[in-house]
Every structure is written in structure tokens, then in C-alpha cells.
């Protein structure tokens, strides 16, 4: 596609449910990032993939958060046993090169609301 | 790790006036400083960036300045228009894998 695509755009979960958020990066982009954006805040780094390798997961807030990119393209962010504090917009971004050598292209985000 | 502070959190200007948003960063190894614009409910989009080997960069009505000694950088928008109204985020990276964002500035341009 022409840009980074994320699904679902909106997700409402009951506390304790598991959720899975999908990201389709721009074709050919090596780097993929997940960010969490709370209401009125800047995006906060969660994790980074270079192709299929997860090189940095230092931003994942707990072991309930898990991300994968098994074939170096589509990525899934999974949150187990969701809590109210997980409510946020989850942004995926991709970049042509590895690391931060250029522009990040963001998706529209997945807005998660945990009741 | 890197810490990026952004000020002001909200900024209201009259159409045609200039707007300035300032950011400071903590990691002296940071060398890449992008600015993103995010309209309500939309994705952040890069509007301008600067690398540490230059002190200023301009693109039409938008300019960014960088002071590496003081570890601060600023976004300048001249001749503001209503369509400039959005949230602006600064960010910093040390060429590692993490881009650290500031808290954002909500810019409102009044017609």
C-alpha cells in the first residue's frame, strides 16, 4: 500500500481481555517501530524491529506486552490481560533504512480503550 | 536515556503572526532532531528535520534552529495560517534505535 496501515483503528476491550493490534508497514521498509501515545502526550517508544529481528524492546511496559514481526513485514502487538492504564493510541511507524537515518512514516494508530 | 522537554504546551497566535516552539534534550550524543505535525485523529507527519552538523534549516515558512552547546532546538513558523493549527512534536535521536518525543505543543491559529 501507499502508507503504513494499522488495524483495528478502534478497539474496546474489557479489563482482562487479550488484544492484538496489526501493522502493515510500507513495502520494503526495513525498520518498524511501535509507540504508545496516551491522551495529550507525545508518543513513547515501545519496541523496534529490523526486518524480523526485535532489536530493542526496552520500552515495553510489562511482560503483558509482546510484539512480533515473523517474516520481516507485518507486525503484531499483543497485550495480554489488558488493564485500564493500557488505554492509549498505539502507533506503528516504518523506515526504509535501519535505525534512525531518516524519516519515520506513521500509521493512523489503533485506539485502545480498556473498560 | 534521552529526555526531551517541549514548551509551551499550548500556543495561540493570530493568523499572520509567527509561532516559536522550543525543545531541550539531555543526551549530548543526540544528532538527529525531527519535528512532527499531528492533526486531530491523524498520524504524525514529518515537517522538517535537522542533523547536528548544521545550525539552521529552512523550508518555506518553517525553520528549525539547533544549539548543540546548549542542547536546545526550536521550530519557527512564520506567517501562520489556520491550517497550521495542530499539535507539534519535537524529537531527538542519537542514531540508535529510539526516537524520543517531547510532550507536544498545541498550536491554535486564530483567523
pLDDT tens, residue by residue, B93-106: 876 667 899 999 99
Three cell numbers at A15? 479489563
pLDDT band at B53 (very low <50, low <70, confident <90, very high): confident
Dump pLDDT digits (tens) for B17-33: 999 999 999 999 898 99
In the predicted model, is pLDDT for residue A53 greater than 90?
A: yes
DSSP single-letter state for residue B30 = -
Dump pLDDT digits (tens) for A61-96: 999 999 999 999 999 999 999 999 999 999 999 998
Three cell numbers at B49? 528535520
Contacts of B108 (CB under 8 A, 6+ apart): B10, B11, B12, B13, B85
Phi, psi for residue B84 in degrees, rounded to 5: -80, -10
- Classify residue A28 by burial, with Cβ atoms within 10 Å: 0-12, 13-18, 19+: exposed
Asked if A89 and A78 count as a contact pair (C-beta separation under 8 A), the reply is no
Coil, strand or helix: which one is B74? strand
| Residue of B51, B99, B103 to mutate for A, most A C-beta atoms under 10 A | B99
Between A33 and A100, whose confidence is greater? A33
- Grid look-up 506513521 returns A106
| Residue of A43, A50, A56 to mutate for B, most B C-beta atoms under 10 A | A43
Phi, psi for residue A65 in degrees, rounded to 5: -100, 135
Q: List chain B residues with CB under 8 Å of A99.
A: 95-97
Amino acid at each position: 500500500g501507499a502508507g503504513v496501515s494499522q488495524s483495528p483503528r478502534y478497539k474496546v476491550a474489557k479489563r482482562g481481555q487479550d488484544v492484538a493490534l496489526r501493522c502493515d508497514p510500507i513495502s520494503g521498509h526495513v525498520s518498524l517501530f511501535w509507540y504508545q501515545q496516551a491522551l495529550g502526550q507525545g508518543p513513547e517508544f515501545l519496541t523496534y524491529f529490523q526486518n524480523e529481528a526485535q532489536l530493542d524492546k526496552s520500552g515495553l511496559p510489562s511482560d503483558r506486552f509482546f510484539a512480533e514481526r515473523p517474516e520481516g513485514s507485518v507486525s503484531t502487538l499483543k497485550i495480554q490481560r489488558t488493564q485500564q492504564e493500557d488505554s492509549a493510541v498505539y502507533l506503528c511507524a516504518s523506515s526504509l533504512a535501519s535505525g534512525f537515518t531518516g524519516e519515520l512514516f506513521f500509521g493512523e494508530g489503533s485506539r485502545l480503550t480498556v473498560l | 536515556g534521552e529526555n526531551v522537554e517541549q514548551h509551551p504546551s499550548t500556543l495561540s497566535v493570530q493568523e499572520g503572526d509567527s509561532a516559536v516552539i522550543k525543545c531541550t534534550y539531555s543526551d549530548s550524543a543526540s544528532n538527529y532532531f525531527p519535528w512532527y505535525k499531528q492533526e486531530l485523529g491523524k498520524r504524525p507527519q514529518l515537517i522538517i528535520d535537522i542533523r547536528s552538523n548544521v545550525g539552521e534549516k529552512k523550508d518555506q515558512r518553517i525553520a528549525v534552529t539547533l544549539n548543540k552547546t546548549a542542547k536546545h532546538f526550536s521550530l519557527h513558523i512564520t506567517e501562520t495560517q489556520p491550517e497550521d493549527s495542530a499539535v507539534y512534536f519535537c524529537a531527538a535521536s542519537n542514531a540508535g534505535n529510539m526516537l524520543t518525543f517531547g510532550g507536544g505543543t498545541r498550536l491554535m491559529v486564530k483567523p
